[in-house]
């Protein structure tokens, strides 16, 4: 069977650290749909078991069982299984448990676990270095113990800093400007060293631009705790009436309408990009792959706002305020390498992003907390086919 997500490459059991978060939950779904077995390890500091219960439901897996306080699973009679383990990437013990609870045989890791708020990283740099960098050191040590040498890492366009280059190729200088960006740069450096330290490593550094939107079912999406740091979830919360108005940071940028221009990509396109990267790593000889994942299209804040309004039949209040320090006028990916190397490019439009993001927010105004308290373990999930 040719698999469109992986490009026809082999289907395997994979570990997703941080797989209960925004990008990890959508990627879990995409990987399950293409027939992979998925093991997630997450400490739930910014993720939710409910997200994965819904992933199991959306992919038609059997009942979602909780057999201990920190271990959930669902499987289908033929193929696919999803296991969720509570664990911290900084803990050797938790990592060993994740590799073993997957009943061994984990052939690749997708490493999403990490902290990602720029402002918070300036206030608490040590926490960012600890989780993002020490967490990755511990993960690599565990991969060594369990004989796994294939890794897909969630890197970020934040590495490029405030460059004026448009669009930005992977060869652009790395010049991060905040602790979050420094930790991503440090991990990329570390993974480059690891890749050249011994034969056999297959590593992809995926530099995401601005992942937004939600699965079209409206069942899973982004669930920021507290005040969202990014424009799109903030916009959705204004639309839901949870916030009074959208603050637009700067109306005097050297762009068409004076507001900042970014490269937004639908989270399902991003999820599918992970499947492609995994397939490529498994099919080709060991290598270190560095790819931008973006649409290659720039949209201004006002353009995004207008598209959201038109697509969803809404009018949203907004105010233009001062620029934020560290922002840049334009940040757009050159995604041509991702297309050339793995036949991937974004397929979904800005209108798709706005429609799907709003479907999620409208149905879940309080995120996964809208689902109410977690049911008792024996009541979790519904039996598929019963």
- Which of 45, 175, 196, 366 touches ligand NAD by CB under 6 A? 45
Binding flag, residue 221, ligand NAD (CB under 6 A): no
User: What gap in Å lies between CA 288 and CA 268, rounded to an integer?
Assistant: 24
- Which of 3, 13, 35, 44 touches ligand NAD by CB under 6 A? 44
| Contact window for ligand NAD (CB under 6 A) among 1-9, 76-84, 203-211, 346-354 | 203-211
In whole angstroms, the minimum distance from the beta carbon of 318 to ligand NAD comes to: 21
Which residue out of 180, 208, 264, 368 is catalytically annotated? 180
In whole angstroms, the minimum distance from the beta carbon of 116 to ligand NAD comes to: 4
| Contact window for ligand NAD (CB under 6 A) among 62-70, 144-152, 206-214, 351-359 | 206-214
Long-range CB pairs of 342-347, under 8 A, 24+ apart, other chains included: 342/7, 342/273, 342/276, 342/277, 342/279, 342/280, 342/291, 343/7, 343/276, 344/272, 344/273, 344/276, 344/293, 345/295, 345/296, 346/265, 346/266, 346/269, 346/294, 346/295, 346/296, 347/266, 347/269
Binding flag, residue 364, ligand NAD (CB under 6 A): no
Smallest Cα–Cα separation from 239: which of 300, 303, 311? 311
In whole angstroms, the minimum distance from the beta carbon of 371 to ligand NAD comes to: 16
What's 264-328 look like in SS3?
A: EEEHHHHHHHHHHHHHHHHHCCCCEEEEEECCCCCEEHHHHHHHHHHHHCCCCCEEEECCCCCCC
- Which of 179, 211, 228, 296 touches ligand NAD by CB under 6 A? 211
Residues 151-170 that bind ligand NAD (CB under 6 A): 154, 156
Q: What is the DSSP string of 170-192?
A: TTSPP---SHHHHHHHHHHHHHH
Binding flag, residue 90, ligand NAD (CB under 6 A): yes
Return the sign of the alpha-carbon dihedral for residues 225, 230, 236, 242.
positive
Q: Which is nearer to ligand NAD, 110 or 248 (CB)?
A: 110
Binding flag, residue 47, ligand NAD (CB under 6 A): yes
Site string for ligand NAD, 106-135 (x = CB under 6 A): ------xxx-x--------------x---x
User: What gap in Å lies between CA 211 and CA 158, rounded to an integer?
Assistant: 13
Using DSSP bridges, classify how beta strands 65-68 and 71-75 pair: parallel, antiparallel or unpaired: antiparallel
Binding flag, residue 42, ligand NAD (CB under 6 A): yes
Q: Which is nearer to ligand NAD, 11 or 38 (CB)?
A: 38
Site string for ligand NAD, 15-34 (x = CB under 6 A): --xx-xxxxx----------
Helix, strand, or coil (residue 240): coil
Reply yes or no on whether 368 is catalytic: no
| Contact window for ligand NAD (CB under 6 A) among 13-21, 186-194, 311-319, 364-372 | 13-21
- Residue 97: CB atoms within 10 Å: 18
Residue ranges that bind ligand NAD, judged by CB under 6 A? 17-18, 20-24, 42-47, 88-90, 112-114, 116, 131, 135, 154, 156, 208, 210-211
List active site positions.
180
């Amino acid at each position: 069977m040719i698999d469109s997500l992986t490009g026809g490459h082999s289907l395997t059991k994979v570990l997703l650290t941080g797989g209960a978060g925004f990008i990890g939950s959508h990627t879990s779904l995409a990987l399950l749909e293409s027939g992979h077995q998925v093991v997630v390890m997450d400490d739930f500091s910014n993720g939710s078991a409910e997200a994965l219960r819904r992933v199991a439901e959306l992919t038609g897996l059997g009942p979602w069982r909780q057999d201990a306080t920190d271990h959930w699973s669902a499987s289908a009679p033929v193929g696919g299984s999803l296991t969720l383990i509570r664990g911290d990437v900084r803990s050797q013990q938790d990592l060993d448990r994740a590799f073993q609870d997957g009943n061994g045989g984990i052939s690749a890791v997708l490493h999403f676990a990490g902290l990602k708020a720029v402002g918070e990283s300036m206030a608490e740099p040590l926490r960012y270095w600890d989780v993002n960098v020490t967490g990755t050191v511990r993960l690599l040590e565990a991969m060594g113990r369990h004989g796994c040498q294939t890794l897909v890492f969630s890197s970020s366009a934040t590495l490029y800093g405030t460059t004026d280059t448009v669009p930005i190729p992977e060869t652009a200088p790395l010049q991060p400007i905040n602790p979050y960006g420094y930790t991503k740069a440090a991990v990329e450096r570390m993974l480059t060293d690891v890749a050249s330290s011994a034969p056999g490593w297959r590593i992809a550094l995926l530099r995401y631009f601005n992942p937004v939107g939600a699965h079209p079912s409206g069942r899973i999406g982004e669930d920021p705790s507290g005040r969202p740091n990014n424009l799109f979830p903030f916009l959705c919360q204004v639309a839901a009436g949870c916030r009074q108005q959208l603050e637009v940071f700067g109306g005097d940028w050297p762009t068409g309408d004076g507001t900042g221009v970014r490269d937004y990509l639908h989270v399902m396109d991003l999820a599918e990009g992970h499947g492609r990267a995994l397939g490529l790593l498994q099919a080709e000889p060991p290598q270190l792959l560095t790819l931008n994942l973006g649409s290659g299209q720039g949209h201004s804040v006002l353009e995004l706002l207008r598209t959201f309004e038109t697509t969803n039949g809404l009018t949203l209040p907004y105010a233009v305020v001062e620029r934020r320090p560290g922002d840049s006028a334009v940040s757009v990916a050159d995604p041509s390498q991702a297309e050339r190397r793995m036949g991937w490019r974004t397929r979904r439009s800005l209108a798709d992003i706005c429609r799907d993001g709003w479907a999620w927010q409208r149905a879940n105004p309080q995120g996964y907390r809208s689902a109410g308290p977690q049911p008792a373990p024996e009541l979790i999930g519904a039996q598929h086919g019963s």
